[in-house]
């Protein structure tokens, strides 16, 4: 039976909490983010990926990949240009994500997610960075509406590739995708791109929760999502953090363990902590509640998922803190595990307006990009009086 979790002040509206919970870093109410602009002249950046040598790859919505070097700045010429196949005709379409192959040092392969020309289908491809040679691995039709494409792509600590896809767009999940296991819409996928299986250019891991389940797509790792624009793994325990953009009442952050495949986050029965559409609620459904939520419309408009900080420069201040942003409100949110097995959250300062993505360099230091104007910022932390 689905249940409606009770609201608490700390999770509902992000009130500062006086204790840091697990003992790492300074108390959240004394932690503040700082940002330093390091590059400009980006065109609607959508993701940041750190290279082993310390440089950053930044995707731009029209289909280009730019390189930032701390010593020389932002290179004017793209290192990769896919604009001849990318559909960026609407606000949420374009080149959306990039991940380095685990064997990048040898192959120079990257994996990209974009909405393709002409129909907007969400497309996952393997691309050789040095030549631009592309192999399309997976597509999901997405022609009816231009929003909710997801498009974040990353490799988990298990070596498998994870891809997020939104519910198909418009509002209110008109296709009922979130609670439908027979579609890739509204899901996070997990596939093995190191092998091929039959006619597929990838394999489905046997440990996927719906592998072999009739009526379910075996690629699905997590479901019940509206638009998981950004998600990340904590490198210390392999747990997965997902920022799922809300319909208009709540923005939510979800968190599951490394082995918790099959988690159903409730959309479109639930939106954050409340029932959104009772007709989408199956009586025997079991939902994984968000670990943090805040009010959309009054406290923000779209949550932008970040990562857990494990860099060295600010380890004494922020180690173990999950940091997220909001596209409109500029609020920086910090989350930590508490002593009761849950999480506490607080506002920990502000980011520049219109943050679209977080990324880390090879030392684990944080960066963010903003859509308009297209800029790259290095993120730091400082302590204020409690």
pLDDT score of 11: 37
Over residues 322-341, mean pLDDT? 95
Instruction: Tell me the torsion sign for CA atoms 185, 189, 195, 197.
Output: negative
Whether this prediction's pTM lies above 0.85 is answered by yes
pLDDT score of 385: 87
Over residues 330-345, mean pLDDT? 94
Question: Is 25 in a helix, a strand, or coil?
Answer: coil
Question: Is it the case that residue 19 has pLDDT exceeding 80?
Answer: no
Question: Is it the case that residue 4 has pLDDT exceeding 50?
Answer: no
- The two three-digit tokens of residue 304, written as one number: 């932008």
Q: What are phi and psi of 335, to 5 degrees?
A: -130, 145
What would the DSSP string read from start to end of 114-145?
EEBTTT--EEEEEEETTT--EEEEEEE---S-
Give the DSSP letter of residue 83.
T
Question: Is 271 in a helix, a strand, or coil?
Answer: strand
Question: Is it the case that residue 81 has pLDDT exceeding 80?
Answer: yes
- The two three-digit tokens of residue 61, written as one number: 């919505």
The rounded distance, in Å, linking the Cα atoms of 92 and 148 is 7
Q: What DSSP element (H or E) covers 241?
A: strand 240-244
Percent of the chain, pLDDT > 90? Answer: 92
Give domain limits for the chain.
9-383
pLDDT score of 25: 83
Superfamily for the 9-383 domain: TolB, C-terminal domain (2.120.10.30)
Q: What DSSP element (H or E) covers 254?
A: strand 250-256
Q: Higher model confidence: residue 290 or residue 7?
A: 290
pLDDT score of 386: 65
Rg over CA atoms, the chain: 20
Alpha helix stretches (DSSP H) within the chain:
9-13, 104-107, 315-318
- Contact predicate 345/334, CB 8 Å: yes
Over residues 101-114, mean pLDDT? 98
């Amino acid at each position: 039976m689905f249940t409606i979790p009770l609201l608490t002040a700390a999770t509902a509206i992000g009130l500062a909490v006086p204790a840091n919970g697990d003992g790492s870093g300074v108390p959240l109410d004394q932690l503040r983010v700082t940002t330093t602009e390091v590059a400009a002249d980006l065109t609607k950046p959508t993701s940041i990926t750190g290279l082993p040598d310390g440089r950053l790859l930044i995707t731009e919505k029209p289909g280009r990949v730019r390189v930032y070097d701390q010593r020389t700045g932002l290179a004017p010429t793209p290192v990769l240009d896919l604009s001849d196949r990318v559909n960026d005709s609407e606000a949420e379409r374009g080149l959306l994500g990039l991940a380095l192959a685990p064997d990048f040092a040898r192959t120079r392969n990257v994996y990209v997610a974009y909405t393709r020309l002409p129909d907007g289908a969400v497309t996952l491809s393997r691309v050789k960075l040095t030549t631009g040679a592309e192999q399309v691995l997976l597509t999901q039709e997405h022609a009816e509406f231009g929003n909710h494409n997801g498009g974040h792509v990353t490799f988990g600590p298990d070596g498998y590739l994870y891809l997020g896809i939104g519910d198909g767009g418009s509002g209110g999940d008109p296709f009922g995708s979130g609670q439908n296991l027979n579609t890739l819409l509204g899901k996070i996928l997990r596939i093995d791109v190191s092998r091929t299986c039959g006619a597929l250019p990838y394999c489905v891991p046997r440990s996927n929760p719906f592998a072999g389940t009739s009526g379910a797509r075996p690629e699905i790792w997590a479901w019940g999502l509206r638009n998981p624009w950004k998600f990340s793994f904590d490198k210390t325990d392999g747990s997965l953090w997902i920022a799922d953009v809300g319909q208009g009442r709540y923005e939510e952050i979800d968190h599951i363990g490394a082995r918790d495949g099959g988690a159903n986050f409730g959309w479109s029965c639930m939106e954050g902590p409340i029932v959104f559409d009772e007709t989408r609620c199956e009586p025997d459904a079991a939902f994984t509640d968000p670990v943090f939520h805040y009010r959309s419309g009054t406290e923000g408009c779209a949550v932008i998922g970040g990562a857990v900080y494990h860099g060295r420069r600010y380890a004494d201040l922020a180690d173990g803190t999950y940091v997220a942003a909001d596209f409109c409100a500029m609020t920086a949110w910090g989350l930590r595990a508490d002593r009761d097995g849950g999480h506490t959250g607080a506002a920990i300062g502000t980011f520049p307006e219109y943050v679209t993505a977080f990324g880390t360099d090879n030392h684990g230091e944080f960066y963010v990009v903003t859509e308009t104007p297209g800029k790259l910022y290095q993120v730091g932390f400082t302590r204020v009086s409690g």
